Every structure is written in C-alpha cells, then in structure tokens.
Amino acid sequence: MEATSNLKLDHVTLRRVRDIVQTCSDKLYANENIPLEDIKIISVVIEEFVDRYHHGKEEKAYFPQTEEKDDFSEDIRKFLIEHELGRRIAKMLVSHLMQWQAGKESREPVARFLKSYAAFITDHTGKEDRFFDMVEEKQSLSTDESQMLLKHYEQCKNYVGGQERIEELLRLIEYLEARDWMR
C-alpha cells in the first residue's frame, strides 16, 4: 500500500541523515574542525524533516489509522514513546549547540547527542520497517484508507511549510553530504 511504502521511503532519507549525524559526531570526537553553521543545519533538518514532517505523518495520520487493527496498538505506543525520546535528544543537542555558538566549548556534549540521535534513527526506523512489512503482509490497510492517508500526508507537508520547504530540506541534506568533513 502506498501509504506504508511512502513512510518506508522516508526512512531511506532518514538513514542518509543518520549517516551525516554519525560522521559529524565521529569527526568532532576526532577533534576535526566542523563549522558550527553545518551542525546548525543538521539540527534544522532533524527538527523539520525528521521530526515535524516524518514523525508528523506517522503521529497525525498513519498511526491513528492503524492503531485499532490487528493488535498494533502496543507497537504504536512504543513508537510514540521513541519519538519523544528522539525529541529529547534533539533538544539537548540544540541547547549545547547554542551554548557552543555563544562561546562555551561544547564539542563533547554536541558529539555525544549527535551520536545518540544517530543511534535513535537506526534503532527506530529498523523497528518501524519491520512493523510496516507486517502491515503490508497482513494487508491491514484498504486501498481507500491508503488513499485517504496520502491526502492526509499532503496536509502534514503544509504543516512544515509545503512542498517547497521539503525540497529545500532535501537540498540541505545534499549540501551536508557534499561537505569536506563528510569525506
């Protein structure tokens, strides 16, 4: 069903973000110089693309629709708790980054929360992918439901600032992937 594969496709992008986040953390630990502006861009991608857009689609559309079916509610409850965990890590990351920008040496905590966020993406998208496979296998969503969810996703897009902003965020991901420190 398209509504499910749509989210699985997002996960491919999320794992690209994960690779950026992990490399950034590794390089910070190795004392390499990374522009704080780039780490700021990473935090924007996390906040807008990973959390507000992707988790938004899951929380506002997909999970409420699948929750009642086939004993999925326990899995979904755990996913929602994990989203909150991700938000807490992102918040700590931003807070230490802001302190660093204000002049307080914060390489270690920034590296640490980046590392935690990378681990969060790996763990969380892995579990959800297995869940999505199960939904597809059981054919738990009807064609109508899937179509309805796709429409709902469009609204979620507007919540982030529309198609243009999504494209801008994807360009920012490409920009980060091409940075010298990513090699």
Binding site for Fe ion (CB under 5 A): 58, 128
Alpha helices in the chain (DSSP H): 2-29, 36-45, 56-57, 63-66, 73-101, 107-138, 143-160, 162-177
Position closest to Fe ion via CB: 128
Half-sphere exposure of 80 (CA within 13 A, CB side): 13
Work out how close the CB of 171 gets to Fe ion at its nearest, in angstroms, rounded to a whole number.
21
Work out how close the CB of 115 gets to Fe ion at its nearest, in angstroms, rounded to a whole number.
19
**Shorter beta-carbon distance to Fe ion: residue 75 or 128:** 128
Work out how close the CB of 50 gets to Fe ion at its nearest, in angstroms, rounded to a whole number.
9
Work out how close the CB of 23 gets to Fe ion at its nearest, in angstroms, rounded to a whole number.
21
Coil, helix or strand at residue 34: coil
Q: Indicate the burial class of 180 (C-beta count within 10 angstroms; 0-12, 13-18, 19 or more).
A: exposed
**Shorter beta-carbon distance to Fe ion: residue 47 or 58:** 58
Closest CA to 173 of 61, 41, 9: 41
Q: How many residues does the chain have?
A: 183
**Shorter beta-carbon distance to Fe ion: residue 2 or 38:** 2
**Shorter beta-carbon distance to Fe ion: residue 52 or 179:** 52
Work out how close the CB of 86 gets to Fe ion at its nearest, in angstroms, rounded to a whole number.
8
Coil, helix or strand at residue 179: coil
**Shorter beta-carbon distance to Fe ion: residue 49 or 113:** 49
